Amino acid sequence: MSKVFLLIGLSVAMVSLWNVWNLYSSYSSKRTQEEKEKDKNTFTPKTNSQTNKITNKTAYSSYSSRRNSIIPISKSILTFEFIKEIGKGHYGKALLVRDKIFNKKFVLKEIPLEIYENHDLLKNEHIIHSILDNKFIVKYYGTIVFGNYIYLILEYAPQGDVLEYILNNGSLDEVAAAKIILQVLCGVDYMHQRNIVHRDLKPDNLLLFDKGLVKICDFGHCGVLTNDKEKLKGVGVGTPVYRSPELVLGLPHNEKTDIWSIGVLTYMFLTNESPFEDDDEFNITNRILKADYTLLDDGVSVEAKHFIYSCMQVNPMNRPSTQDLLNHPWILNCVYS
């Protein structure tokens, strides 16, 4: 009888092993196909020596829209180990945690349910972030509701943000600045192609990752355009020193407001100062409305000055698009030369 049970046990074990092997083979085949697709979409900039412009117009789109690698993650709050609080805002906290099952760090954005349910700004951020999937945008992994709180599971940036980096290290050289701006442009271009306007681009909303990777975060001020001719409305949107003239005045606006902010970012990266530096807030506002920024010194290249000048045009219709800026000589010369 014992021999019979032994044979039955061995049979069950063999069936289990066979199922595991089939599962592994299926997974390996799927991964191989995914990796081939990923390799096929790998971005290689192609330039024309006559015009020094990117000739493959789909390259940036292919590069930017590539999905992030799938990362295993638990979906129960009980599987996360609290490490420390890394931020606190008007509506909640940012908690650094470790997934005990997969041993990976994440950020949990903890918001009281009562506050979440009564603030459209928070719901707007949640919805928009959940549909964005791009290499240059901080990854959203999902939501957990536990007790009286809602937790947004976000990608952790081990290197902090660009503001912190500049405060600690000073202004950037043109090559370093251009490499960051290129990544911001790729992320913003991805958003603009989907009619989403960020409206709060600033150094502390740009997070740093390994190997110089930069990702955009914080989508609470985003607006969505339903068509190319629509204008957004909003008073007090964004951070004052980065606001475009139309945002300062509370006028209808579109994606070109982000272009202005990119000009301000570039200026600050190169100088470690605001282009509208002034002790009086009223004077700052007036200077923004006239694009009356402090001129850059001779140590900054003509191409960099032109890049900033073209972004910070008072009339939004005169500002370039993200695609125009991706092909700007300053970007091409600094990043690809």
What's the Cα-to-Cα distance from 184 to each of 111, 135, 217, 293, 314, rounded to whole Å? 27, 11, 11, 22, 21
Altogether, the residues listed in the chain come to a count of: 337
**Catalytic positions, written as ranges:** 200
Please identify, among 155, 188, 220, the residue that sits at the C-terminal boundary of a domain.
Answer: 155
Report the distance separating Cα 112 and Cα 98, nearest Å.
21
Q: Which residue has the higher pLDDT, 149 or 33?
A: 149
Report the distance separating Cα 267 and Cα 261, nearest Å.
10
State whether 267 and 307 are in the same domain: yes
pLDDT surpasses 80 at 151: yes
Q: Torsion angle of alpha carbons 62, 325, 48, 64, nearest 10°?
A: -10
Q: By residue range, what is the domain housing residue 146?
A: 77-155
Question: Is residue 123 part of an annotated ligand binding site?
Answer: no
Read off the pLDDT of residues 236-263 as tens digits, 9 standing for 90 and up: 566 778 999 999 998 999 999 999 999 9
Please identify, among 155, 185, 209, the residue that sits at the C-terminal boundary of a domain.
Answer: 155
Q: Tell me the pLDDT band of 230, cut-offs 50, 70 and 90.
A: low
**What phi and psi values does residue 229 have, to the nearest 5 degrees?**
-95, -10
State whether 148 and 169 are in the same domain: no
pLDDT at 226: 78
Q: Are 262 and 239 in contact (CB under 8 A)?
A: no
Q: Which residue has the higher pLDDT, 320 or 7?
A: 320
How do the residues of the chain divide into helix, strand and coil, expressed in percent and rounded to 5? 45, 15, 35
Average pLDDT over residues 194-218: 95
Per-residue b or e along 273-290, where b marks 16 or more CB atoms closer than 10 Å to that residue's CB:
ebbbeeeeeeebbebbee
pLDDT at 61: 32
State whether 174 and 298 are in the same domain: yes
Residue written as token pair 């969505």: 224
Residue 6 lies in a domain: no
State whether 331 and 227 are in the same domain: yes
pLDDT surpasses 60 at 51: no
Report the distance separating Cα 22 and Cα 33, nearest Å.
17
State whether 237 and 295 are in the same domain: yes
Q: Which residue has the higher pLDDT, 151 or 20?
A: 151
State whether 211 and 272 are in the same domain: yes
Residue 329 lies in a domain: yes
Residue written as token pair 């069950």: 12
Question: Is residue 174 part of an annotated ligand binding site?
Answer: no
Question: Is residue 218 part of an annotated ligand binding site?
Answer: yes
Q: Which two tokens stand for residue 56?
A: 């493959």
Read off the pLDDT of residues 262-285 as tens digits, 9 standing for 90 and up: 999 999 999 999 999 888 888 999
Q: What is the CATH number of the domain that holds 179?
A: 1.10.510.10
| Bridge partner residues of 213 (DSSP) | none
Q: Where are the alpha helices (DSSP H) in 103-161?
A: 113-117, 120-131
Read off the pLDDT of residues 321-333 as tens digits, 9 standing for 90 and up: 999 999 999 999 9
Question: Is residue 156 part of an annotated ligand binding site?
Answer: yes
State whether 208 and 286 are in the same domain: yes
Report the distance separating Cα 182 and Cα 188, nearest Å.
10
Please identify, among 98, 122, 155, the residue that sits at the C-terminal boundary of a domain.
Answer: 155
Average pLDDT over residues 283-310: 92
Question: Is residue 157 part of an annotated ligand binding site?
Answer: yes
Q: Any residues with CB less than 8 A from the CB of 106 and at least 6 apart, and which?
A: 73, 80, 96, 97, 98, 99, 141, 153, 154, 155, 156
State whether 151 and 172 are in the same domain: no
DSSP string over 255-293: THHHHHHHHHHHHHHHHSS-TT--S-HHHHHHHHHHT-P
Number of domains in the chain: 2
pLDDT at 238: 66
DSSP state for residue 78 in the 8-state scheme: G
What's the Cα-to-Cα distance from 315 to each of 43, 56, 195, 202, rounded to whole Å? 34, 30, 20, 21
Report the distance separating Cα 54 and Cα 44, nearest Å.
10
For helices 174-193 and 256-271, what crossing angle results, to 10°?
160
Q: Which residue has the higher pLDDT, 153 or 39?
A: 153
Q: Tell me the pLDDT band of 103, cut-offs 50, 70 and 90.
A: very high
Average pLDDT over residues 103-120: 92
Has this prediction a pTM greater than 0.85?
Answer: no
- Among 6-20, 152-166, 275-289, name the most confident range: 152-166
State whether 149 and 173 are in the same domain: no
Residue 309 lies in a domain: yes
Mean pLDDT over each residue of the chain, to the nearest integer = 80
Residue 3 lies in a domain: no
